[in-house]
Amino acid sequence: MTNIFSKKQLISKLIISSLLLVPLVVFFKAWENMFGLASFTLAYALGIFLLLADEQFLYRFYVEKIDGGLNNDSHSLMLASRNFLFLLALPFLSIFVATSSGSIFGIAFILAINFYLLIEMWQLRDEFLLFGDRFLAMSKIEVTIKLVHKICWLALAYFIFLLVILLL
């Protein structure tokens, strides 16, 4: 698979996504006991690792099934974790986990996934063709730079909304 992010961009994605961990640990008071801190940090890291692993390694298992072993490059950017249907279902799942599950582990996991995807969207916001291939490949939507910018702002507003839900 052709990696669309340079090593520098990948490292910056990891660093920026990890920066949210400290305020979340403070807000959820996960630092009060070692088990809480360890499980919260592990869940957050697991969310980031899942998306990173899908991008770097896991895609090999399901792209081969899609291509039928032909090594067709047309599916090189179709990742399960960046799939249009996954991105449509993620807000509903996230709101459920944030409001109804009561699981700090689940909240940390889902916030990590959302924040990592938000960072990735903003990294690709000026490359609308790459953005379309990455996030809108299964949709029939015509991708334009205006649409990509709107999606990025909408994703940011959604993430802020998710954080506000957790604060209440």
| Nearest to 135, CA basis, from 117, 157, 158 | 117
The SS3 of residue 148 is helix
- What does pTM read for this prediction? 0.84
pLDDT bucket at 32, cuts 50 / 70 / 90:
confident
Tell me the average pLDDT across 40-56: 90
User: What is the model's pLDDT at position 66?
Assistant: 52
**What share of the chain has pLDDT > 90, as a percent?**
38
* Alpha-carbon span 41 to 22, nearest angstrom: 9
* Alpha-carbon span 153 to 26, nearest angstrom: 27
- The identity of residue 28, as a single letter, is F
Place of tokens 């991105």: 87
